[in-house]
Chain A
Amino acid sequence: MPWIKQNKLDNPSSALGTLGRMALEVLFFRSLFRNTKASLKDDRLVYSVDKWLWFFSLAFHWSFLIIFLRHFRFFTEPIPFFVGFLQDIDGFFQVGLPIIYITDVAILVALTYLFLRRIFNAKVRIVSLPSDYFPLLLILGIAVTGVLMRYFLKTDLVAVKEFAVSILSFQPISNELLNKLSPLFMIHFTFVCTLLIYFPMSKLVHLGGIFMSPTRNLANNNRMKRHINPWNPVVAVHTYEEYEDEFREKMKAAGIPVEKEE
């Protein structure tokens, strides 16, 4: 009703509201932001706000995305316009030389938190599977080798780019080029390949799944609009006639109207 305030985001009846809900969920992990922690104190349940999971998972995912985009400079020529922009923002504080990227720090801290959480939070530990630890460690491995290469054990970036471009354009790679690449880079590269292979058949497909979740991407308009079920089954029903046949005498005796007298 128009005079009742509708929560257009949590309970959207229009496509626009649903889009808003999805966007907030995908970009800012809105559901995790609600997280609370329950504890028992003297037989009383108390709830405290718990935003750590939200904070670190958001930090991780955004960092990962930005780092991924920054890597475009290694395998595209010309370098896309957004890379320079991202680098500037990411190195905003201009600390150290080479300038330390915020995302590099963030991804390491966040991954460490997510990993330790799986081990030290009793509730999460019990549900964690090897397939939960593996991708965390894998990405941690990628991040650590990457950070080492950038800040500590420099690698030949020109060679790396040559290597990446040849792979992407299916050109053979010369031995000479291979010799220029550091072992650390090879480890980094192997981890990335593993991740790419592992990605589509693991829990990492939650990347795509988040867009498909029916409880988030459908509007709440079921009473307004009829939704068709393609396999709507035919079922046996108990008809009014059968019902009246069974109870007719009692209905008549009680003065309830009936369809047939007999």
Chain B
Amino acid sequence: MSIKIKPEELLKNVTYKPKFVNWMDVPVEFQKGTFNYAGSEDALIYLDQPNPRKWQPTDPDWKLPENWQEIILEGLRERLEKYRSLKIFMDICVRCGACADKCHFFLGSGDPKNMPVLRAELLRSVYRREFTTAGKIMGRMVGARELTFDVLREWFYYFYQCTQCRRCSVFCPYGIDTAEITFLTRDLMNLIGVNIDWIMTPVKNSYRTGNHLGVQPHGMKDSLEMAAADIEEITGIRVEIPINKKGAEFLFVTPSADYFGTPHYYTLMGYIMLFHEIGLDYTFSTYASEGGNFGSFVSHDLMKRLNHKIYAEAKRLKVKWILGGECGHMWRVIHQYMDTMNGPADFLEVPKSPITGTVFENAKSTKMVHICEFTADLIYHNKLKLDPSRNDHWHATFHDSCNPSRGMGLLEEPRYIIKNVMRKFTEMPDNTIREQTFCCGSGAGLGTEENFEMRMRGGFPRANAAKYVKDKYGVNICLCICAIDKANLPPLFDFWVPGLEVGGVHEMVGNALIMTGEKPREVDLRLNPLLKEEENQ
């Protein structure tokens, strides 16, 4: 990990009063630590994507096809027809500036091109030049410019400095969704082979092996068995973990980081303990072993190609419905696109909790339920025996991950669970949570080592709010329901707020869950000793 930069230095030159220049005249510079490496040749070949080659963004020659401008403009024309949102967002902005200081990348870098309005203008300026009469005639007077190589470099730099978190759209009087603009501009760049490796390689891996880390079926099984062994050590109970089991009641899909990442892994143990305790008939799948969808960061087609596996596997295994784990953009895809892209899921039944009998009407078409909805329902109906004092060594706060909160409106369920499984919980300040939550700074494929500085900058507003509750109330763990958060918040907090841990909601469920026949618990899922009665005030 790069420790060269120090937190105090990072903010030194940040100002929210940018100098007045014509932004079109400011060239983009690729500084170390602020951009991502280019998509690898073999990933592009495997996925049959345009223009596979070896290149890097710092190269003077990007080895683009000769008619690259034509390809992009033609692509833009096609997308303007397909996406009403794009067409409206191109025309409707009045540049009121309400979004300007809402973006975490602007707040962390002070770079005016990270103001959502200007980020969108990067594309809008080309749109005006090519598709509006005023732009064709008046040029720069009306903010129009030609698509040149420099513009493309700027697109690459700044559209890969947006995590598609959509915080700006909450404040926009027209609801302009920058995520949509970023998504489509990345899609356009992908037409000429301009993309980043931490998206394209995970897409290739997910396509081939089912999960973005490229772990093969036996590796996944090993990992699940390790979780079973750890659970046995902590609770004394041996759990069975069904894999690719036909005829199970439901299929469980979770981001693959849950099997291999830390602290994701503790959340995985939490799920498995919960399923075992209430005797659910479920199955994991090695083929659809990834809920996360890196394709969704860059292209509609790639997103659909990856997402296809979930319904296909549900059909093959003849399950009745699907349950999804704690993940961010996975839920954006499932919530907003899956049914439309790969549905209708008429071979499944409307999800019904086998324990409480609750029918999940909110998922009656998609047939896929969020684990937090499922668990909150169990707790509400008193179906779980819980001992919240086992989490007394933790004082938690909850980070709303962008996609479940703004993307699907899942705000109350995780909080309801947390308040029932632990006793110490404090919210971060109001304008940094719920709909106004700040991104971890590394979503949408930007979580790479080479992009470290920009990630720390982008995550600064989130870390700043977390530091506030840590210093003021003694919060020592930040809970979240997103795998990318769980991967990126730890280095972010190490940088800005040392001593603050990161965990998942179901890890806390696992700690508090009283299992039938378990031995007295001495440690939590991380093997931290639990507080004894007398230590507990």
Determine whether the beta carbon of A203 is less than 8 Å from that of B93: yes
Shortest beta-carbon distance from B494 to chain A in Å: 17
Indicate whether B431 reaches chain A with its CB closer than 8 angstroms.
yes
Partner-contacting stretch, out of A31-39, A77-85, A91-99, A175-183: A31-39
Q: How far is A154 from B252 in the complex, measured between Cα atoms in Å?
A: 77
Q: Which A residues, 228 to 249, have Cβ-Cβ distances below 8 Å to chain B? A: 228-229, 231-233, 235-240, 243-244, 246-247
Q: How far is A247 from B221 in the complex, measured between Cα atoms in Å?
A: 13
Partner-contacting stretch, out of B66-74, B114-122, B269-277, B419-427: B114-122
Chain A residue contacts of B312, Cβ below 8 A: 237, 239-240
Determine whether the beta carbon of A4 is less than 8 Å from that of B412: yes
Chain B residue contacts of A70, Cβ below 8 A: none
Indicate whether A27 reaches chain B with its CB closer than 8 angstroms.
no
Determine whether the beta carbon of B169 is less than 8 Å from that of A256: no
Q: How far is A224 from B93 in the complex, measured between Cα atoms in Å?
A: 31
Instruction: Please tell me which one of the listed residues A128, A225, A231, A246 contacts residue B95 in the complex, with CB atoms under 8 A apart.
Output: A128
Determine whether the beta carbon of A220 is less than 8 Å from that of B408: yes
A1, closest chain B residue (CB): B377
Shortest beta-carbon distance from A227 to chain B in Å: 5
Indicate whether A57 reaches chain B with its CB closer than 8 angstroms.
yes
Instruction: Please tell me which one of the listed residues B82, B207, B221, B465 contacts residue A256 in the complex, with CB atoms under 8 A apart.
Output: B221
Determine whether the beta carbon of B340 is less than 8 Å from that of A129: no
Chain B residue contacts of A244, Cβ below 8 A: 287
Binary flags per residue of B198-219, CB closer than 8 Å to A gives 1, else 0: 0000000001111000001110
Determine whether the beta carbon of A215 is less than 8 Å from that of B169: yes
A257, closest chain B residue (CB): B244
Binary flags per residue of B1-36, CB closer than 8 Å to A gives 1, else 0: 000000110010011111111010000000000000
Binary flags per residue of A113-149, CB closer than 8 Å to B gives 1, else 0: 0000000011111111111100000000000000000
Binary flags per residue of B275-306, CB closer than 8 Å to A gives 1, else 0: 00000000000110000000000001100110
Determine whether the beta carbon of B221 is less than 8 Å from that of A43: no
Indicate whether B460 reaches chain A with its CB closer than 8 angstroms.
yes
Indicate whether A172 reaches chain B with its CB closer than 8 angstroms.
no
Chain B residue contacts of A210, Cβ below 8 A: 92, 173-174
Determine whether the beta carbon of A240 is less than 8 Å from that of B93: no
Shortest beta-carbon distance from B436 to chain A in Å: 8
Shortest beta-carbon distance from A188 to chain B in Å: 24
Chain A residue contacts of B380, Cβ below 8 A: 1, 3
Asked, given contacts A233-B301, A251-B218, A256-B218, whether A126 binds B88 with beta carbons under 8 Å apart, the answer is: no
Q: How far is A1 from B115 in the complex, measured between Cα atoms in Å?
A: 37
Asked, given contacts A40-B16, A123-B16, A127-B121, whether A238 binds B309 with beta carbons under 8 Å apart, the answer is: yes
Indicate whether B373 reaches chain A with its CB closer than 8 angstroms.
yes
Determine whether the beta carbon of B97 is less than 8 Å from that of A4: no
Q: How far is A54 from B216 in the complex, measured between Cα atoms in Å?
A: 55
Partner-contacting stretch, out of A5-13, A104-112, A163-171, A189-197: A5-13
Q: How far is A36 from B141 in the complex, measured between Cα atoms in Å?
A: 30
Instruction: Please tell me which one of the listed residues B96, B98, B112 contacts residue A126 in the complex, with CB atoms under 8 A apart.
Output: B112
Chain A residue contacts of B21, Cβ below 8 A: 126
Indicate whether B80 reaches chain A with its CB closer than 8 angstroms.
no
Shortest beta-carbon distance from A40 to chain B in Å: 6
Determine whether the beta carbon of B115 is less than 8 Å from that of A127: yes
Indicate whether A76 reaches chain B with its CB closer than 8 angstroms.
no
Q: Which of B121, B313, B464, B465 has the most CB of A within 10 A?
A: B464
Chain A residue contacts of B45, Cβ below 8 A: none
Q: Which B residues, 495 to 519, have Cβ-Cβ distances below 8 Å to chain A? A: none
Determine whether the beta carbon of B143 is less than 8 Å from that of A226: no
Q: How far is A212 from B83 in the complex, measured between Cα atoms in Å?
A: 13
Chain B residue contacts of A75, Cβ below 8 A: none
Shortest beta-carbon distance from A197 to chain B in Å: 13
Asked, given contacts A45-B107, A124-B96, A215-B169, whether A236 binds B362 with beta carbons under 8 Å apart, the answer is: no
Determine whether the beta carbon of B218 is less than 8 Å from that of A253: yes
Chain B residue contacts of A55, Cβ below 8 A: none
Indicate whether B51 reaches chain A with its CB closer than 8 angstroms.
no
Indicate whether B366 reaches chain A with its CB closer than 8 angstroms.
yes
Q: How far is A228 from B309 in the complex, measured between Cα atoms in Å?
A: 20
Determine whether the beta carbon of A223 is less than 8 Å from that of B368: yes
Determine whether the beta carbon of B142 is less than 8 Å from that of A131: yes
Indicate whether B339 reaches chain A with its CB closer than 8 angstroms.
yes
Chain B residue contacts of A29, Cβ below 8 A: 173
Chain A residue contacts of B243, Cβ below 8 A: 256-257
Determine whether the beta carbon of B173 is less than 8 Å from that of A124: no
Q: How far is A247 from B219 in the complex, measured between Cα atoms in Å?
A: 11
Indicate whether B308 reaches chain A with its CB closer than 8 angstroms.
yes
Asked, given contacts A130-B141, A250-B216, whether A256 binds B286 with beta carbons under 8 Å apart, the answer is: yes
Asked, given contacts A1-B358, A3-B380, A38-B101, whether A228 binds B368 with beta carbons under 8 Å apart, the answer is: no
Q: How far is A240 from B313 in the complex, measured between Cα atoms in Å?
A: 8
Determine whether the beta carbon of B112 is less than 8 Å from that of A123: yes
Determine whether the beta carbon of A224 is less than 8 Å from that of B361: yes
Determine whether the beta carbon of A123 is less than 8 Å from that of B97: yes
Q: How far is A224 from B143 in the complex, measured between Cα atoms in Å?
A: 42
Binary flags per residue of B171-183, CB closer than 8 Å to A gives 1, else 0: 1111111000000
Instruction: Please tell me which one of the listed residues B8, B107, B335, B412 contacts residue A43 in the complex, with CB atoms under 8 A apart.
Output: B8
Determine whether the beta carbon of B363 is less than 8 Å from that of A127: no
Indicate whether B376 reaches chain A with its CB closer than 8 angstroms.
yes
Chain B residues packing against A (C-beta within 8 Å) = 7-8, 11, 14-21, 23, 48, 82, 84-85, 88, 91-98, 100-102, 107, 112, 115, 117-118, 121, 133-134, 141-143, 169-177, 207-210, 216-218, 221-222, 243-246, 286-287, 300-301, 304-305, 308-309, 312-313, 316, 334-336, 339-341, 343-344, 358, 360-366, 368, 373, 376-377, 380, 408-409, 411-413, 416, 429, 431, 435-436, 460-461, 464-465, 468
Across the A-B interface, give the 5 residue pairs with the lowest CB-CB distance, nearest first: A254-B218, A215-B175, A209-B92, A124-B97, A11-B409
Chain A residues packing against B (C-beta within 8 Å) = 1, 3-7, 10-11, 13, 25, 29, 31-32, 34-40, 43-45, 47, 53, 57, 121-132, 201-203, 205-206, 209-210, 212-216, 220, 222-229, 231-233, 235-240, 243-244, 246-247, 250-251, 253-257
A-B contacts, 10 of them at CB < 8 A, read: A1-B376, A10-B435, A25-B175, A36-B101, A126-B18, A212-B88, A213-B174, A215-B175, A227-B339, A236-B48
Other A-B pairs, 16, CB within 8 Å; known A57-B96, A251-B286 = A1-B373, A44-B468, A45-B107, A45-B465, A126-B20, A127-B97, A127-B112, A127-B121, A130-B141, A131-B142, A227-B339, A232-B341, A235-B304, A247-B286, A250-B218, A257-B246
